[in-house]
Structure 1
């Protein structure tokens, strides 16, 4: 019965963490480019009092053993990089990746981060940057007197000045993808960084080598499904309650044993 108390406690802690993950998903339901997390559960070590296949007193093989588990834990939180829905904005610097890939941005320390958030802006020098001022990599600059900005599906950025008929090319947007995007490290602010688990970034032109294409005037919304998360929350709450009931039952059994008299 003492074992049951601690086993149920691990279940309650696991479901508490599960609820934390669900809450984070729901809180980012309107975050551009956000990818929902899914917890992976794992059972804990087993106490084995009899091994399967052990011979009995008659020399016969025992078909099954005796094992008692010690609860559960969350072994990993996995990012699911399924495509989110698109929202039309009409803003020429709002870009969406239709398919696989990440935009590259340069951080203040010179390192490179990766994002699916295509809500870009233009700073005082004409450089295309994120909302936090991180420059797009490779850098693209647009003159302040540009009247028309165009981004094609293959990442070519062009602009028109004044009454000119011809578009002037400003640069090309390069995308990257990873062998294991779930291994990327979440940095907050819609940014990811490379890890040993993700593998190195594989750069390429949009629409080539398995990379997605770019659509102008759209944003990718979160891939969180509110209904699914609410169902998951109810399931986690009921599992939490069930584990608490197990603790209560074990406590009552201990109380009964303590009240035995000769």
Structure 2
């Protein structure tokens, strides 16, 4: 009986949906996190009678035919890109991106990665790094005797060495943009890598090419909507229960069939 396997694909799909929702909810406090959404497609169909088949000698054509679906499959888990709210932190190396750009960082293997997590730090050698110690590209070194830092919306970082003294430029932060940011590969730790789907990174100074600007002393909150996620969680639970009832009903029908003498 096909109903058993069809309902099993439905239960598996709803389980995948719950796993995606649970990941979204667990990252409600993750800086710059964008929620994911599970998307599904129907499986192939068994064509018992094709639509348009000639049904009689006089040329009568069947308008619909008989097509039996075989269930559902996951088609993608796509990221829902959105600007999160900005929270003021007062940190001189906390940077929020107002726009669709990404900061570029250098991984230990020399490959570039990209992030919207602007909780930057000063490394032991003065290098500006992420919370995981990855250097921000292009590299900027903060002198040990710098007393204060200032970052303008265009990404220029300045240092002050004495009270009331002039600002000294340290370097320029850049932003990366992609033709299809949804095609980026998530690496974990708020990092992404470019793929064939995302297209190559397009680097520009903040304020250029529509990539957005930077705001010092702020961090971008997660864009997860807890109310929406809980609502979808209830829907997924109900869908799972309905598919389980289909399996139960199909099992009862098979039991009745085996009792026929």
Matched, 1:132 2:151: no
Counterpart of 2:185 in structure 1 is 185
Counterpart of 1:207 in structure 2 is 207
Counterparts of 1:1-262 in structure 2, within 5 Å, are 2-57=1-56, 58-261=58-261
2:210 partner SS: coil
Supply the distance in 2 between the matched residues of 1:253 and 1:79 (Cα, whole angstroms): 41
1:255 partner SS: helix
1:110 partner SS: coil
Supply the distance in 2 between the matched residues of 1:252 and 1:163 (Cα, whole angstroms): 83
Query: Aligned pairs, how many?
Result: 260
Deviation at 1:164, TM superposition (A): 4.9
CA RMSD of aligned residues (A): 0.9
**TM-score normalised over the length of structure 2:** 0.98
Supply the distance in 2 between the matched residues of 1:40 and 1:23 (Cα, whole angstroms): 15
Supply the distance in 2 between the matched residues of 1:165 and 1:187 (Cα, whole angstroms): 42
Deviation at 1:165, TM superposition (A): 2.3
**TM-score normalised over the length of structure 1:** 0.97
1:146 partner SS: coil
Deviations 1:200-254 (CA, angstroms, capped at 9, x unpaired): 0000010111110000000011111111110111000000000000000111111
Moved more, 87-96 or 161-170: 161-170
Deviations 1:74-115 (CA, angstroms, capped at 9, x unpaired): 111101121111111010100000011000001111111000
Runs of 4+ in 1 over 4 A off after TM superposition: none
Moved more, 100-109 or 54-63: 54-63
